[in-house]
């Protein structure tokens, strides 16, 4: 009789050890190159939090009639490149035209090679529905430049919509590859612009 509870205890202990070993093997494996390694929560800077000693001046790029224009803005400084990127993208999203639903930053991930994955809500894609190639190019270029011009650790940028890869936003510019090369191209129909 006394051996039955002992056997049950040993079986439970063995099951816990197997579960612990399985967890360790699954969650403690090295992350393959090219996959996001961390997700930090989106922290939108509040006007009260942006004090002069905590603020940094950034080069923000926004869509203009001539393509992409550079302006200077202050955002909350953060030693984490991912959190600084979140502050920059939040500021960039404020420059977009107001629509029925405003685009939201869902998160930013960074892999080991410095590729920043920017996850935006579906409203970002909806804003480009029916737009031409030049507009889609300018919106993406301004976003990519805003991140890469201010964060040396940002080697390249990828865009996700609602946590998923999409082939394009408006059907013109492919998004299944990093976008830094896009920043060096001129928009269709707008030669000699930034």
- Does the CA dihedral 179-185-188-194 come out positive or negative? positive
Tokens of 59: 């080069």
d(CA 119, CA 104): 9
State which H helix or E strand residue 92 sits in: helix 81-94
Nearest Cα residue to 145 out of 121, 118, 172: 118
Mean pLDDT of the chain: 80
Residue ranges per structural domain of the chain = 1-28, 47-184
pLDDT digits (tens, 9 = 90+) for 154-190: 999 999 999 999 988 877 888 888 888 877 776 554 4
State which H helix or E strand residue 157 sits in: strand 156-161
Tokens of 181: 């090369």
Question: How many CB atoms are located within 10 Å of the residue 17 CB?
Answer: 10
In which band, very low, low, confident or very high, does the pLDDT at 100 lie, cut at 50, 70 and 90?
A: confident
pTM over 0.85, yes/no: no
């Amino acid at each position: 009789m006394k051996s039955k509870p002992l056997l049950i205890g040993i079986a439970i202990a063995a099951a816990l050890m197997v579960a612990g070993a399985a967890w360790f093997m699954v969650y403690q494996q090295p992350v393959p190159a090219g996959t996001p390694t961390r997700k930090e929560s989106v922290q939108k800077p509040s006007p009260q939090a942006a004090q002069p000693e905590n603020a940094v001046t950034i080069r923000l790029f926004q869509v203009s009639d001539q393509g992409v224009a550079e302006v200077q803005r202050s955002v909350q400084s953060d030693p984490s490149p991912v959190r600084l990127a979140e502050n920059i993208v939040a500021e960039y999203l404020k420059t977009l035209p107001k629509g029925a639903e405003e685009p939201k930053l869902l998160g930013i991930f960074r892999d080991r090679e410095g590729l920043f994955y920017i996850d935006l809500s579906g409203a970002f894609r909806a804003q480009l529905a029916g737009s031409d190639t030049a507009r889609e190019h300018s919106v993406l270029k301004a976003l990519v430049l805003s991140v890469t011009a201010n964060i040396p650790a940002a080697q390249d940028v990828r865009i996700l919509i609602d946590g998923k890869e999409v082939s394009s936003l408006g059907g013109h510019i492919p998004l299944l590859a990093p976008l830094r090369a896009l920043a060096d191209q001129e928009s269709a129909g707008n030669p000699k612009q930034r």
